[in-house]
Amino acid sequence: MTSAEMAALHALCFVTPRPWSEAEISDLLSSRFCFAIKAVSGFLLGRVVAGEAELLTIAVDPAARRQGIGTGLMRDFLAEAAKRGADSVFLEVADFNTSAQRLYLASGFTETARRRGYYHAPDGTLSDAVVMACTI
């Protein structure tokens, strides 16, 4: 999956937070700290810095959800993060994205904080970011 394909899939999956462009994805992947985990109908971007991993984004084609793709991406992400020296992982997710939160909880994450009014929808609505973390 190319950066352009990842950007197109990201646009299918996100309005709030806004989808990432091909250039933004390419820029992230040019960093030695960032990496992609890819599947037929999804991808995940992560990074590891100083022993801590961050899940930057995960996108699964809406037509292919509930088939274990996200679970596989998360499993592979945690393994790759550990291989790169991470002993902990964090992420943030919109409070309304309960499907993603269930995936993260099933992957061993717990809520650690909230960022009030962090996400801004195109209509001006504000949503909290749920910060989650786990130990690898």
Among all residues, which ones are annotated catalytic? 92, 104
Reduced to 3 states (helix: H, G, I; strand: E, B; else coil), residue 1 is: coil
E-strand stretches of 1-41: 34-39
Question: Are β-strands 42-49 and 126-135 bridged in parallel, bridged antiparallel, or unpaired?
Answer: unpaired
What phi and psi, each to the nearest 5 degrees, are found at residue 39?
-135, 170
Reduced to 3 states (helix: H, G, I; strand: E, B; else coil), residue 87 is: coil
Burial of 61 (0-12, 13-18, 19+ CB in 10 A): middle
